[in-house]
Structure 1
Amino acid sequence: MGGGKPVMRLLLVRHGETAWNAGHRLQGSEDIPLSESGRGQGRLLAPLVAAQRPTRCISSPLSRATATAALLGFHDPELDERWQEAHLGDWTGLSSAELGRRGDGAYKSWRAGVFTPPGAETFEALTDRVVSAVEQLLPNDRTVLVVTHGGPIRALCQAFVGLQANALVPVDPASLTIIDFTDRARLRAYGATTSGLSEDPPD
């Protein structure tokens, strides 16, 4: 990859809010649909994404991601399971508050990418699959939109930009993160929204 103009601009959109997001419940790979609030967020984000002129759209197959893609104007995105959220095993459906009250530090360690809940996918496995998905796209001289989830975005920021998971707050639902690929990966935007930033964004 040469310097200067990006060989590829990767637009990473986290899906809009779900009822589980609103309750700070961990969804993982459960197929929880967008809420009405999430649909509104998607519509508000659409002009920001359109301004980047993506030439291709790829989506996690989970319905909250494909519905967000449709709200962004992409009704038939390419589906790729590698962009799906991590499976969270026994933690699926639990709230961050409930996990924090256990007082064992496991939730904080999971957020840092160094603990795997019982029966869950490891952060390393999540990282490997999303890195594989990006490497398959490079180089292509395109602006590629990927509608995905918070975990994959955090994993890519660590793998390509060197930002450790424990140094990143979760991106808001219906937010845009941009990574430019030239001679190396550069973070252009992280968690940008048009509906305001959350005080406590959900995982």
Structure 2
Amino acid sequence: MILFKTAARSTVVLVRPGATEFDLQGRMKGSLDMPLCEQGRQQAENLSEELAGIRLDAVYHAPCESAEQTAACLVEGRSIRPRIVEDFRNIDHGLWHGKLIEEIRRNQPKLYRNGCDRPETVCPPGGESVHAAAGRVMKAIHRVLKKSRHQVIALVIPDPLASLVAAQLNDEAMPDFWKVETDAGSWQLIEASS
């Protein structure tokens, strides 16, 4: 769990959805719309239990089935409805959709190393650059934060976009692109400014 205090008044519970079959296989799902697998459903239920003691004023999620299913678990028994934010969609991996991360490491070693050393410069062939995704998602995050001052909000966003959001909100460098590619139902707490 990460907890940073700033001058702001919004508390963000950043949630990675439970796993899909692609996550378990080490495949890049990017913006593909995939449901939770059985293990992912269990992870989403575990998240709901872990977060049951935290008051949530709102839950916003990415427009993909795994994020929607995870958000639905989070609001169970609460008097809130999850809301879709289109700009929370994951990075478009273009021609990398469905590829094994190991396959990219083997077949494109220079590009793979670049994702380790300078993840903000990654741009999949025919896809969206990490830099462009950061601009898109952070505009949406700031809109949500502005509406949610003094509230506790959950943002259900798949990786690698969730790790990009965490890095931006915590004013840190983005971690190794390849190590944050797959979801496994985790969360972190961040004090964020609007």
Aligned partners of 2:86 and 2:40: how far apart in 1? 22
**How far is the alpha carbon of 1:48 from its aligned partner?**
1.9
SS in 2 for 1:166: coil
* CA deviation after TM superposition for structure 1 residue 96, in Å: 0.6
Residue 29 of structure 1 pairs with residue 31 of structure 2: yes
Point out where structure 2 has 5 or more consecutive residues left out of the alignment. none
Counting helix residues as a fraction of each chain, which structure ranks higher? 2
Equivalent of residue 171 in structure 2, options 142, 147, 162: 162
Question: Using CA pairs below 8 Å that are at least 6 residues apart, which structure has the higher relative contact order?
Answer: 2
- Within 2, Cα distance between the matches of 1:38 and 1:177? 18
Matches within 5 A, 1:61-140: 61-74=63-76, 76-111=81-116, 112-139=119-146, 140=149
Instruction: Provide closer, same or farther for how the CA distance between residues 5 and 51 of structure 1 changes in structure 2, counting only shifts above 3 A.
Output: farther
Q: Deviations over 1:162-184 (max 9, x none)?
A: 321235842751100221025x9
Identity across the alignment (%):
25
Query: Are the equivalent residues in 2 in contact too, given 1:15–1:68 (CA < 8 A)?
Result: yes
Partner of 1:19: 21
Q: CA RMSD in A?
A: 2.3
Deviation at 1:156, TM superposition (A): 1.8
AA at the equivalent of 1:70: A
Q: Which runs of 4+ in 1 moved over 6 A?
A: none
User: Secondary structure of the equivalent of 1:50?
Assistant: coil
TM-score (normalizing by structure 2): 0.84
How much does 1:5 deviate?
Answer: 7.9
Kindly indicate whether the alpha-carbon contact (under 8 Å) linking 1:13 and 1:147 is maintained by their aligned counterparts in 2.
Answer: yes
Secondary structure at 1:165 match in 2: coil
Gaps of 5+ in 1: 185-203
Q: Tell me the alpha carbon deviations over residues 14-56 of structure 1, each in whole angstroms, 9 at most, x when there is no partner.
A: 1101110010000011111110110001111112222221110
Q: How far apart, in 1, do the equivalents of 2:109 and 2:6 lie?
A: 47
What's the counterpart of residue 54 of structure 2?
Answer: 52
> SS at 2:29's partner residue?
coil
Secondary structure at the aligned position of 1:72 is classed as helix
Aligned-partner Cα distance in 2 for 1:99–1:35: 24
Match of 2:190 among 179, 185, 193: 179
TM-score (norm 1): 0.80
